[in-house]
Chain A
């Protein structure tokens, strides 16, 4: 035998062994293609006098939203496209980590035509019948699909009173007035100028830091009869920022959910729910005024102190060092930014970010996607700053903005998976776990797709294929999950807070109605328990206001909790 071949053979064995060792340390496996969930997203190409300029600023619309639409016990995913004629996808979860696109059959595929481009989507049970309905948000006219059951949907947009032109980019649904029905909060990026045929060139942001000529927020009150009423002004939420994301949660634990509005090109806003059907803008007191580019809002109690904190992504690059916000909730409707102290400040051109406990250690970790446009090797930065420094420039006029062409802007950025080190700092483990791709990420959806107690990740990327990362963590940490059903409260229990006590520690989670940019995660509440399998109790504060305690909860399984079945507190 040739001795060189023997050496080469050992070398190959050695490399293979190293690769195996490396893989065992990697807890997420890219199963996108294997799962059949790899349809590419394409940005919308406009055909108007400003098309070349708009191309750089509308690289949006890749989103992923999760719900178990058919009630079979497995979370499904709706994934959007944006190109003209591009189909949206409803991926039915087959239960074995494969998916089947049933969007055409279900009647929810056609979201993109010459007058409409899909930007995002939201599952919410608008008629409170226990079946998640689907809202498709568009630059154009939104679509509301009623879930008829048996895998069929029917468009009810007009009947629901939601048919109007909006440049919608985000939405959340929660019961702000505690009447038992989910109300709808829609954030729009551009003002309602028809982007497909604008009648004015002045539809771009008037400022990079204080723009107030955007689409703002629109609030639709759920009338309980299948219709909605625009109550934006009545509830005190009339805004005109360049809204990119909305995030709701009960900041002061008073039983009413508050609202954080993240705006591009200007000040984020914080609205306190007064508990009487109105909100008050308390931005200055709560977070102060910023000039940043708010992209994402997600809420979670990252330090397990009983109050929900907020993570907002902004832009941090060589040419624009804004830094993200990790707003620590001080418990008195004020927040302190601890992003620098916790190591979560710099994540490039941030987009979707989502808290979740990927290793079931009882501390909420954080995944952040980023990257604006990854194209040619030339940078668009000098072009944009040439415009910015031109004296007397009218930013609102699209004609003044330079076309991006094939240039890149904050492209090829690595994603971050921040492991929460007991609420003190976060350590980036993205490279270790193989989730540090350089595609232009937009939305994140977290769900336990195979019900194995380990949270998986779906990432929607702009102008590219998505990623489905299966969590293959080998550790034996315990967990417990809850599916809540409201009876007096809204049926999907959006807004419910769950406080779990185990091993001398109480942790808080809540059910949100679509928080985080271009993504909606599972409506199940998932707690990591570490090495503890014994749960002392859970306390549920239902959206309608009542508190109930549940004991004898079994770990390592999904538990169904129905309002009214616990011990009242």
Chain B
């Protein structure tokens, strides 16, 4: 083997070793630029850069989540309170195309669903139902591709927001029980507290009051500082109903920022 051949092989090895970094690099750069623009409240640049980051690294939970946060901040800056429905349409169209371009990306589908959730508080009550239903469809597709903890938690929690007459809370409980089983087999993460809260809420909404309290108790043992769990456990009867109805009010904006997840991933 000649020196030249060795050099070429070495170069190839070095190149291939750098391929992931080279692919991730531009996405990271775009993400960083997007974050800087977001901090400066330059929403147009932030959205463009974060869209670029999503296109370069479509299955990144981080990139898609932050893109949605940028859109949210832009619309609320432009239309105080909950924004205007039209403000979310470009974002939804972007995720729709991204999902079509990357049909195997479960995180794109998840964030596509979240884009509909972000729009809900700005919409009228009937449109809210249509948006929530469409979001559920995308969450379902994401789970079909990859039943991750976040996807199961998200869909399960979403079902709980539906009024009782739709009888969807039991579907939520089924998803949340799967997410619960998953987190029991993983190292503890701060966001796991969400399943204790929501699964308890799901039990409460399906009239399993004892199971609900038991789940919240278990959650509080694991997360002793959790105020939402303390609040639930301190209430009974109508007080508890008022509290949970208030939490699960579809007119209120749901926090869909996934920073807690991608920061710990």
Contacts and interface: CB of A to CB of B under 8 A. Distances in A.
A515 B249 CA distance: 33
Interface residues of B, number: 15
Given A208-B124, A209-B124, A389 B166 contact: no
B226 interface: no
Given A388-B130, A389-B130, A389-B133, A318 B125 contact: no
A208 B163 CA distance: 19
Contacts of B163: 318-319, 381
Nearest to B167: A382
B126 A209 contact: yes
Interface string B131-153: 00100000000000000000000
- Listed residue (B123, B163, B249) with the most chain A CB atoms within 10 angstroms of its CB: B163
Contacts of A232: none
A539 interface: no
A171 B164 CA distance: 38
B129 interface: yes
Contacts of A381: 163, 165-166
Interface string B233-265: 000000000000000011100000000000000
Contacts of A379: 165
A57 interface: no
B166 A388 contact: no
Interface string A374-390: 00000101100100110
B237 to A, nearest CB: 18
Given A321-B249, A388-B129, A291 B123 contact: yes
A389 B165 contact: no
Prevailing SS type, chain B contact patch: helix
Contacts of B124: 208-209, 290-292, 322
A159 interface: no
B127 interface: yes
A312 B126 CA distance: 19
Contacts of B129: 319, 385, 388-389
Contact of B165 (A290, A291, A292, A319): A319
Interface string B143-177: 00000000000000000000111100000000000
A322 B251 CA distance: 9
Contacts of A382: 165-166
Contacts of B250: 321
A320 interface: yes
24 contacts: A208-B124, A208-B126, A208-B127, A209-B123, A209-B124, A209-B126, A290-B124, A291-B123, A291-B126, A291-B127, A292-B125, A315-B125, A318-B163, A319-B165, A320-B125, A321-B125, A321-B249, A321-B250, A322-B124, A379-B165, A381-B166, A382-B166, A385-B129, A389-B129
Interface of A: 208-209, 290-292, 315, 318-322, 379, 381-382, 385, 388-389
Rank and list the top 7 A-B pairs by shortest CB-CB distance, nearest first.
A291-B124, A208-B126, A209-B124, A318-B163, A320-B125, A319-B163, A389-B133
Given A291-B125, A321-B250, 18 more contacts: A208-B124, A209-B123, A209-B124, A209-B125, A209-B126, A290-B124, A318-B165, A319-B165, A319-B166, A321-B249, A322-B124, A379-B165, A381-B166, A382-B165, A382-B166, A385-B129, A388-B129, A389-B130
